[in-house]
A = this chain, B = another copy of it.
Amino acid sequence: MTLPEATVQRLPIYLQCLEELSKDRVSSEELGAKAGLNPAQVRRDLHYLGSKGTRGVGYDATVLSQQLREALGLDQGWGVVIIGVGNLGTALANYGGFDERGFRVAGAFDADPDKVGRRVNGLTVEHVDGLAEAIVERDVHMAIITTPAGAAQGLVEMLAEAGVRSILSFAPAVVRVPPGVRYRRVDLSTELQVLSFYLSNGVG
């Protein structure tokens, strides 16, 4: 299945809106209104998915929901590790959304010996030295990095080496990413600066 990048970014939104609407039929009109999107956009996206609506009626919410979950691979139970157990890492470890969305949290790691052994939401924090091994043994394919910026580059290389193909990083660092690895950076500071731009330049 090959869909436009922009469409992929919207699939999780559709899934969430669908759950919040909790109806058994939805039109592109309704779904668009909820998600803040043009109905034509919704139809095109769902069409890419291979979804089949009924003209004059709309889409079957149960079927659609299942198609979204399947396209997103939420039934695959992908294994995830959290690296860096500071406040942010702890927040993520405590976040209930993993199981709910079908992800399997396979471990939490930190370089600080003081943090190793600590328990977080049913996990015992392990030392990063054991990370590469754990990734292979526990069949992990995704990693979330919440370490300081300096550690990010090395971790990304190590993770790629160990077979991780998707990385979500909260470390405020610009990183060179090995080919074949999907890297998504979320940076508070960047987001704030963009908001600051619009505040400073008066655009709604």
Chain A residues within CB distance 8 Å of chain B: 1-2, 8-9, 11-13, 15-17, 20, 34-36, 71-74, 76, 78, 80, 86-88, 90-92, 94-95, 97-98, 100-101, 103, 141-142, 144, 165-168, 172, 174, 176, 179-182, 184, 186-201, 203-204
A101 surroundings in chain B (CB, below 8 A): 189, 192-193
**Known A-B contacts A2-B203, A190-B12, A191-B184; A166 and B97 likewise in contact (beta carbons under 8 Å):** no
Chain copies in complex = 2
Instruction: For the complex, give the distance between the alpha carbons of A194 and B26 in Å.
Output: 23
- Write the chain B residue with the least CB distance to A80: B192
**Known A-B contacts A73-B196, A73-B197, A191-B186; A179 and B203 likewise in contact (beta carbons under 8 Å):** no
Of the candidates B9, B167, B195, the one whose C-beta lies within 8 Å of that of A168 is B195
- Write the chain B residue with the least CB distance to A101: B189
**Known A-B contacts A76-B200, A204-B180, A204-B182; A13 and B195 likewise in contact (beta carbons under 8 Å):** no
Q: Is the beta-carbon distance between B201 and A166 smaller than 8 angstroms?
A: no
